[in-house]
Structures are given as structure tokens and as C-alpha cells.
């Protein structure tokens, strides 16, 4: 092995040279053993996109739970904005390390899913962004078929979109996250269902740009949709570490504490107990979905 920059005095005794070389080598190896692992994960889709703040906080805490004996890490966002299909490809390839997203069958089959719903299923409780003046129309809705007859907006490659289409909703897909708010503003669809954890930030940060947009007051849609971390199949060791860290957070109450710290205000504003909630089964969930672990799910 050639180590650049190591200069040994040839006139010194052999043992001196050996000690110097040994010390240099030991420092080199110690440095490697404490090397910081870089984990490539979600990037935001716009400057107003705050959807990943909470999941990344959970990810950091879960990895910190297992830092002893494993090593330090650094989270970095993927440098480009990717579609879900491209993200899956990069995750399989290993250029993306961990990605957090609502689950779908294909992702569970092709990557390593950590089946702990970090949002406790909150994303499945959907409120609607609508246009000003449409509230009276929504207040008259009696059953889910009437919602299916209206035009619903959603991201073209989102897990929600696939499920809604299979359930018979009339979905208008958009390829750009910010563009969906513009599409609603111009009447391309009647309502834009958003998770309780999403809708209030989205509304508050865009109400000046879209003054005709409002949050529907009477209804909610429940479509079970757990949010998981997905790990590249190239790193089963990292998946074991993350699973262990998340289970530790569940056991000591850290995950619940963080969840309510981030979402308690949203739950209050959602007022789910006073809304008419239409519950649907999600046809894209696998049999491994941990519904039997009641402590992992929200009970509004």
C-alpha cells in the first residue's frame, strides 16, 4: 500500500521508521473507522414544500437511537427533484439510500420497507382544498358516490392517485406539485384532497397567492395510507439499523411525543370529530400492513 505524503528518514534506525509508519497507519485507520456515513434521502419539491420536515426529524432520531457502535451519519437531500418512478429506480440502484413516502405495493416488493407508519396513518385522513363559493355544494353531499362523481385533483404518480382511481374516483392528475394548486385555482378539478398533516401548511403559505382557495368545512375522506421509510435493497444492514431505531422510539414514547409535537395543532384545526368521514378500503395495501398493532395508529 502506498500512502501519499508519508516521508521516512532513511538515515534513522529501522525501528524508528517502523514506529513512525505504524503511528501514521493507525491514525489513518482510526479516521476511517469514524468516517461519517452519508445517507441520501428526500429533497423538497419547492421552497414552500414542508411535507418532509417531520419524517426527516424522525429519521434522524431513529438513527441517533442506534449511533453507539454503528457510527455517525449525515443526511443529505438528493440533488435533483425526481418523479416517484425515477425515485424508485434510484432507490433500487442505491444512489438514493432512504426515501419516505406513502406506501404502495410496488415499493414494498422492490425495496426494503420499514413497516412502522411514522405518521400513525394521519395522511389517510383527507380534507379538501376547494374554491371559494363551492362550500354549499359540498355541504349537500350525502354519500361517497357523490364525491366520486366530482373531479378530484392529485399527483399523477402518487400512491393516493392509484388507490382513488381503482376505487372509481374521477381523478385529474398533475405532474407538478405546485402546479396542482394552480390547477385548482383555474377550475381544472373540483377538490384537492390533502392529508391533515399537509393541508394547513399548504393553505397558510399559499392563501395570498390563491385567495380563491379555501378548506372545505364539513367532510373528510379516510383512505388508510401508512407512510413508511423505504431503504435501498443494497443496504439491508441500514434497514436493520433503522428498524431497530424506530422500534426503540415506539417503545420509549419518543415517536408519539414527536408526532403530537408536529401534528397536535393540525388535529385540533381539522376538527375530525365534527366532520362526516367517508371511510374506504385501500386496494393497494399489502397483507403485511400492521393494522393489528393498534399502538402504531391514530385514533381520532
Angle between helix axes 236-252 and 254-270 (nearest 10 degrees) is: 70
Residues 115-173 have pLDDT tens digits of 999 999 999 999 999 999 999 999 999 999 999 999 999 999 888 898 999 999 999 99
3-state secondary structure 123-161: HHEEEEEEECCCHHHHHCCCCHHHHHCCEEEEECCCHHH
Give mean pLDDT, residues 245-255. Answer: 96
> CB–CB of 100/42 below 8 Å?
yes
- Compute CA distances 169 → 9, 19, 106, 149, 174, whole Å: 79, 74, 21, 7, 15
Would you state the cell numbers that stand for residue 175, as one nine-digit string?
405532474
Angle, CA of 295, 296 and 300, to the nearest 5°: 80
Give first-to-last CA distance, the chain, whole Å: 62
CATH topology of domain 37-121+227-270: D-Maltodextrin-Binding Protein; domain 2 (3.40.190)
Domain boundaries, the chain: 37-121+227-270, 122-222
Would you state the cell numbers that stand for residue 19, as one nine-digit string?
514506529
pTM, whole model, 2 decimals? 0.79
Q: Which residue has the cell 426503540?
A: 248
Q: What is the percent of the chain with per-residue pLDDT over 70, rounded to a whole number?
A: 85
CATH superfamily placement of domain 122-222:
Periplasmic binding protein-like II (3.40.190.10)
Domain 37-121+227-270 matches domain 122-222 at the CATH topology level: yes
The dihedral formed by the CA atoms of 231, 237, 243 and 247, expressed in degrees to the nearest 10: -160
Amino acid at each position: 500500500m502506498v500512502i501519499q505524503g508519508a516521508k521516512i528518514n532513511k538515515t534513522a534506525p529501522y525501528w524508528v521508521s517502523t514506529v513512525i509508519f505504524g503511528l501514521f497507519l493507525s491514525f489513518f485507520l482510526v479516521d476511517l473507522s469514524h468516517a461519517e456515513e452519508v445517507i441520501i434521502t428526500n429533497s423538497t419539491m419547492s421552497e414552500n414544500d414542508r411535507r418532509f420536515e417531520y419524517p426527516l426529524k424522525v429519521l434522524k432520531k431513529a438513527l441517533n437511537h442506534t449511533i453507539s457502535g454503528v457510527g455517525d451519519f449525515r443526511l443529505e437531500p438528493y440533488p435533483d427533484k425526481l418523479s416517484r418512478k425515477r425515485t424508485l429506480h434510484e432507490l433500487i440502484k442505491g444512489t438514493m439510500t432512504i426515501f419516505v413516502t406513502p406506501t404502495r405495493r410496488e415499493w414494498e416488493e422492490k425495496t426494503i420497507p420499514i413497516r412502522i407508519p411514522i405518521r400513525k396513518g394521519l395522511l389517510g385522513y383527507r380534507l379538501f382544498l376547494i374554491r371559494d363559493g363551492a362550500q354549499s355544494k359540498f355541504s349537500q353531499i350525502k354519500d361517497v358516490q357523490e364525491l366520486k362523481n366530482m373531479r378530484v385533483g392529485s399527483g399523477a404518480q402518487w400512491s393516493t392517485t392509484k388507490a382513488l382511481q381503482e376505487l372509481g374516483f374521477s381523478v385529474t392528475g398533475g405532474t407538478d406539485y405546485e402546479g396542482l394548486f394552480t390547477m385548482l385555482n383555474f377550475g381544472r378539478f373540483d377538490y384537492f384532497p390533502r392529508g391533515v398533516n399537509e393541508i394547513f401548511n399548504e393553505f397558510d403559505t399559499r392563501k395570498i397567492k390563491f385567495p380563491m382557495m379555501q378548506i372545505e368545512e364539513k367532510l373528510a375522506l379516510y383512505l388508510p395510507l401508512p407512510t413508511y421509510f423505504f431503504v435501498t435493497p443494497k443496504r439491508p444492514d441500514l434497514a436493520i439499523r433503522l428498524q431497530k431505531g424506530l422500534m426503540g422510539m415506539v417503545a420509549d414514547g419518543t415517536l408519539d411525543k414527536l408526532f403530537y409535537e408536529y401534528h397536535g395543532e393540525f388535529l385540533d384545526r381539522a376538527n375530525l370529530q365534527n366532520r362526516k368521514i367517508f371511510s374506504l378500503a385501500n386496494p393497494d395495501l399489502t397483507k403485511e400492513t400492521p393494522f393489528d398493532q393498534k399502538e402504531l395508529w391514530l385514533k381520532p
